[in-house]
Structure 1
């Protein structure tokens, strides 16, 4: 089942069900007005939404052509946005970039931070940038939407709390990060609004690609029309979403509608490319002594998507342009 949120002039939009080929949609507001409302009562709403999705595929319900530009992020705002850093290669490279040692618990204890969740960017919404010196970077990620998840959830029990899967562009302002982290109190100004792909999928839609709490598909990142990353999101995700959920719930519970990110998808094999510019700059520093690739500036574009084995865009495409903010 594939869900999305249609813009309607309100903060939270209207819930829709989308055809598997992304061509058309049906309003789902007779089941739940918003995606958050559906998540709040998922056990009751999910079977109704699935029935509607089946009717849509069969042509048995009124549908309308889909324009991705008419969509919000699937959750235009959320109760929480928690982002991990589950790819060891990414952690090692970006730590080197700022002359910081990786934590001693790198492979045993996940890294997570809590980002802003009150104002997400839509999949085709511009990225506003007030100052080019801040070092704007994209970060291509996988994320999941949780249902009510109790404190003390174990990794082996985590799958039942994962309701939906999405993709994200976790925008970073790289040049603001070192000073913020030096305070010992985490990211804040260096993490502006995150963008999400247009469609949220139930894990079963991924078939065999959803395995061991990971998405075993390639994450494609296209910068200014050039494919710069075709990274494999599965095997090198050191901490699975199961592991991340166990880590998060050690001391508290999480409510339905919480978003959990994987961190930047990253592979040791350089031929797979990059999912953020910080990695390219670090590789240039290793190979040539200093970075030569600039961070993003007004006019630059970034596109992020995941394709299945037949080339279908499962989550739709994030397609954004950086603009000068007033």
Structure 2
């Protein structure tokens, strides 16, 4: 089943897509005049994981760092802003966001039932569905903030794109494969791509997730309640952002020219079985900058 959130006559409603037509989820009526919203427009929370070894290893290699051994010991995540959700269509960014503005190609799940202290063997039953996620990131802000070792803040709290719809697990049975050795939970052979202005810049596969969503759920729910509507992202697939691609490019060719998202760019993400999610990056009409508000203190 493909579930959507849509706007109709000023109301946010839930629907089901069937054979290219939208039907209201509650009364079954066909809907013809609507605006497609984020698959989960008002999540209770959003956790974003770090599940793809290729991305982590490449990003660290590009900075001259060895692979961190703790990656293989436990799955981690951080919380991002659940009040900055976009669906298909325009995404508005502030001036500082355009200082190395980046996409992140991810898969996300939404929790379908309440749970706490969920064991990995049961965790997949808590997943209501899967969707595409674009964790837009302002790298200059992010890298400055992370020097303080508290994690991302303004560099990642302005726009998370979820959509175009939520696909229930039964729809993905044909793509199910075994998880990686030493891991537990459902895994799927779903090709993932990202295009910017019609040019493919990233290609990966959900099968490359080292940590499964079941394992992430187990850790996330330890001593904590998960509720219907909570969203969990996979983290970036290998090659799934300009930060990684630029680093690899410069490592291989000192003359490599970095690429970042610009106002007017169109981003299209595609994942097998989950659909196609397109956004256009637009600039807010302001010159307000928090990067210019940094306080500089001279040594006495």
TM-score, L = length of structure 1: 0.79
| Candidates 237, 249, 259, aligned match of 1:284 | 249
CA-CA distance at 1:243 after TM superposition: 0.9
| Candidates 214, 218, 221, aligned match of 2:194 | 221
What's 2:39 paired with?
A: 74
| Candidates 127, 130, 136, aligned match of 1:171 | 136
Contact 2:111 2:228 in 1 (8 A): yes
| Candidates 107, 110, 116, aligned match of 2:81 | 116
Contact 1:81 1:114 in 2 (8 A): yes
What's 2:100 paired with?
A: 135
Contact 2:45 2:79 in 1 (8 A): yes
CA-CA distance at 1:164 after TM superposition: 1.0
Q: Gapped runs of 5+ residues in structure 1?
A: 31-51, 53-61, 267-273, 308-313
What's 1:63 paired with?
A: 30
Q: For each residue in 1:67-111, what CA deviation from the matched residue of structure 2 results, as whole angstroms up to 9, or x when unmatched?
A: 7xx111011111110000100111122234455655331111223
CA-CA distance at 1:316 after TM superposition: 3.0
CA-CA distance at 1:66 after TM superposition: 7.9
Contact 1:137 1:277 in 2 (8 A): yes
What's 2:15 paired with?
A: 16
3-state SS of the aligned residue for 2:164? coil
Contact 2:47 2:233 in 1 (8 A): yes
3-state SS of the aligned residue for 1:293? coil
| Candidates 258, 264, 273, aligned match of 2:230 | 258
Change (3 A) 1:290 1:115: farther
What's 1:27 paired with?
A: 24
What's 2:172 paired with?
A: 206
Q: Gapped runs of 5+ residues in structure 2?
A: 178-184, 286-300
Distance 1:226 1:293 in 2: 15
CA-CA distance at 1:291 after TM superposition: 4.9
CA-CA distance at 1:223 after TM superposition: 1.1
Q: CA RMSD, aligned part only?
A: 2.1
